[in-house]
Amino acid sequence: AGALSVSLLAVTGITNKSLRALMTGLLGQPYPTSRASYDLTRLRRNGLITRVEGRNLYRLTDDGHAFAIFYTKVHNRLLRPLMASAPPTPPPLRGALRTIDQHINARFAEARLPSATA
């Protein structure tokens, strides 16, 4: 989602090569061509990107753009800080996280975005 939300991709489109470069930078490790092809196929099947006719170039759909921005914000503002904390999560916080998860899933269902398990 972080790679998809890069505004340059909204203008130039996504290629296997551009996705590999972005993901290598985000993950800090090599991102092979086969993995990029697989991920592009899944994104297309889930309606987050569409292929430009006659080219190996993909464009974000409106749903794809919304998904990328939403997930990136959730990750940066909520998940990253929580995952960085070393102590075990107290029960009230676990309940709050469960509630947040339910609201996120409801928002995805309302927006007709695919879930992570799809």
| Token pair listed for 16 | 């296997």
Contact 10, 48 (CB under 8 A): no
For residue 118, tell me if it sits in a domain. Answer: no
For residue 12, tell me if it sits in a domain. Answer: yes
Q: What stretch of H or E contains 90?
A: none
| Mean confidence (pLDDT) of the chain | 79
Q: Does the reported pTM lie above 0.85?
A: no
pLDDT score recorded for residue 117: 46
From residue 2, alpha-carbon distances to 67, 72, 78, 89, 95 in Å are 10, 6, 15, 26, 27
Q: Which domain holds residue 11?
A: 7-111
Residue pLDDT, tens place only, 88-111: 667 787 788 788 878 877 877 777
Which CATH number belongs to the domain containing residue 24 in this structure?
1.10.10
Amino acid at 17: K
